[in-house]
């Protein structure tokens, strides 16, 4: 069984940071190591102790002076939009019609879906993201491509076929029955296979008829271990349109509530213009609001009110929302999150940012026993971050005097260039380690 020590400055969270320098919320080992065996973390701690535990023979991947953290987690993005990032000039509904619904039609071709899925997984990994929750296109083939590409890399991934039966081009519409049947088949095929988890995915209230939301409700009731994902309250025109389609609903959130879709496995993208009542409904049901800062700025959507979620006790997570979002990098995402909150007089501390990208997002998807931290028994999904990767960062780092400051520099100036290595179930996938891994395979 493959074993290795991953050595570096190890940082892993145990709780949500309660203040700017809440040292009880994390474990930090200046000369630390993670002992990995058979794709799992055996133990994490000081190098000297872990070395004793692992024995003299064990292979050491020495990443000093870089930071070693749990792999990053992205809780909302769209795999078919990998080549639609940076589409100019429109707000949500016009952007969807002009660019996204054109791009997504290409995914009826399995070869195209497979090629983009490969590229998508590699982009995630090169940005240090080891688990993500993604929408596929309406085509079941796109889901096969998505989970096949994840499986080939050994990644723990969540995703599902978009269901939409109105307000979309003919080529992208299913019917309530077809959406139900295809989703059911895909759940049977993928959910729980290896590291795959299925997300039942009615796109949003605008593109689903009441009949399709009823079918979604049936799927959720029949498959309680699946996730559910949709979009909520991202843009003012969207809200007006959605609520006009469901006049009986109290508000946008109530549309989903009426179809029994809100539960603690539900991820709701954006949640910008919610009333206190709506945030309270999310709090009561345990549904998670997903903050997508680069997307919300790029599409001119608005500012996520994090403090209101916290005040009303509602859960929230962070995500890139590629391709409304402009980067696969969770570091760049947290940079924009900081600015979005700052504009509203709210603070995001560096420890909170790194908590959110790891344990916080793992908790949002209920997978904290497996991912998001480096406790013994966790999956060995690990990212190695180099705070000196860019010359401007290296220059800035010369004046940094604390871990807190370093994390803030990483988040504010960092991107994929800072990801020196990424391990998926203990296997190196990016840096020099990938070449070694390949040589080992070739000579085996
Ligand atoms: N609402 C419905 N579909 C989408 C999408 O693909 N991206 C974003 N940002 N919002 C949506
Ligand atoms: Zn989205």
pLDDT tens digits along 293-305: 999 999 999 999 9
Task: Check residues 433 and 289 and name the one with the higher pLDDT.
Answer: 289
Pocket test for ligand 1, best of 96, 163, 202 (most atoms within 8 A of CB): 96
Distance 15 CA to ligand 2 centre (A): 28
- What pTM was estimated for this model as a whole? 0.97
- Ligand 1 pocket, residue 100 CB under 6 Å: yes
Number of neighbours of residue 87 by Cβ within 10 angstroms: 18
Place of tokens 């009441």: 210
Residue 439 has pLDDT above 90, yes or no: no
Mean of the pLDDT values across residues 263-290? 98
The whole-number pLDDT of residue 427 equals 97
Q: Average pLDDT for residues 190-214, to the nearest whole number?
A: 98
**What mean pLDDT is predicted for residues 10-38?**
97
Asked whether residue 441 carries a pLDDT value surpassing 90, the answer given is no
Ligand 1 within 6 A of 234 CB?
yes
Q: Percent of the chain scored above 90 by pLDDT?
A: 96
The first and second tokens of residue 98, run together, are 């002009």
Quick one: which ligand is closest to 168's CA?
Answer: 1
Residue 409 and residue 387 in contact, taking contact as beta carbons nearer than 8 Å: yes
CA triple 188-189-190, angle to 5 deg: 100
Diameter of the chain by CA atoms? 69
For residue 21, name the pLDDT band (cuts at 50, 70, 90).
confident
* Residue 298 falls in which region: left (phi positive, over 0), alpha (psi -120 to 50) or beta: alpha
Is residue 443 very low, low, confident or very high in pLDDT (cuts 50, 70, 90)? low
Among 212, 299, 297, residue whose Cα is nearest residue 256 = 212
Ligand closest to Cα of 229 equals 2
The CA distances from residue 328 to 25, 116, 125, in Å, are: 27, 14, 9
Could you tell me the end-to-end alpha-carbon distance of the chain, in angstroms, rounded to an integer? 14
287 neighbors 262 (Cβ within 8 angstroms)? yes
Q: What is the pLDDT of residue 444?
A: 47
Q: What is the mean pLDDT of the chain?
A: 96
Confidence of residue 440 (pLDDT cuts 50, 70, 90): low
Q: Which atom of ligand 1 is nearest to the CA of 295?
A: 9
Q: Of 182-196, 382-396, 421-435, where does mean pLDDT reach its minimum?
A: 421-435
The answer, yes or no, to whether any atom of ligand 1 lies below 6 A from the CB of 204, is yes
Three-state DSSP class for residue 30: strand
Neighbours of 442 (CB within 10 A): 7
pLDDT reading at 348 higher than 70: yes
pLDDT at 320: 98
């Amino acid at each position: 069984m493959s074993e290795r020590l991953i050595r570096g400055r190890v940082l892993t969270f145990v709780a949500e940071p309660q203040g700017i320098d809440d040292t009880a919320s994390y474990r930090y080992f200046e000369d630390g190591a993670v002992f990995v065996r058979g794709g799992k973390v055996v133990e994490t701690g000081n190098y000297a102790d872990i070395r004793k535990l692992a024995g003299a023979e064990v292979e050491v991947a020495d990443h000093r002076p870089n930071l070693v953290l749990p792999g990053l987690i992205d809780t909302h993005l769209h795999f078919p939009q990998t080549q639609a990032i940076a589409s100019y000039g429109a707000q949500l509904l016009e952007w969807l019609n002009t660019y996204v619904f054109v791009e997504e039609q290409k995914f009826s071709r399995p070869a195209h879906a497979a090629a983009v899925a490969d590229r998508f997984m590699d982009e995630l990994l090169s940005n240090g993201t080891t688990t993500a929750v993604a929408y596929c296109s309406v085509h079941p083939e796109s889901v096969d491509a998505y989970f096949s590409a994840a499986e080939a890399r050994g990644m723990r991934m969540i995703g599902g076929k978009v269901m939409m039966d109105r307000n979309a081009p003919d080529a992208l519409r299913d019917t309530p029955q077809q959406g139900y049947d295809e989703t059911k088949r895909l759940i049977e095929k993928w959910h729980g296979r290896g590291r795959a988890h299925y997300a039942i995915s009615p796109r949003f209230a605008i593109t689903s008829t009441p009949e399709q939301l009823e079918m979604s409700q049936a799927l959720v009731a029949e498959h309680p271990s699946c996730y559910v994902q949709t979009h909520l309250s991202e843009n003012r025109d969207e809200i007006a349109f959605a609520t006009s389609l469901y006049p009986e609903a109290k508000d946008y959130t109530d549309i989903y509530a009426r179809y029994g879709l809100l539960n603690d496995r539900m991820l709701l993208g954006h949640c910008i213009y919610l009333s206190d009542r709506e945030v309270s409904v999310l709090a009561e049901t345990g549904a998670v609001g997903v903050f997508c800062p680069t997307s919300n700025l790029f599409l001119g959507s608005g500012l996520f009110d994090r403090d209101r979620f916290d005040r009303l006790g509602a859960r929230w997570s962070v995500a890139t929302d590629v391709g409304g979002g402009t980067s696969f990098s969770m570091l760049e995402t947290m940079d924009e999150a900081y600015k979005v909150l700052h504009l509203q007089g709210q603070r995001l501390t560096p420890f909170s940012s790194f908590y959110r990208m790891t344990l916080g997002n793992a908790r949002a998807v209920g997978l904290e026993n497996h991912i998001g931290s480096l406790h013994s028994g966790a999956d060995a999904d690990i990212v190695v971050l180099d705070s000196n990767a860019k010359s401007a960062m290296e220059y800035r780092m010369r004046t940094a005097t604390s871990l807190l400051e370093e994390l803030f520099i990483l988040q504010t100036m960092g991107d994929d260039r800072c990801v020196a290595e990424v391990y998926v179930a203990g296997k190196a996938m990016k840096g020099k380690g990938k070449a070694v891994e390949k040589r080992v395979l070739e000579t085996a």
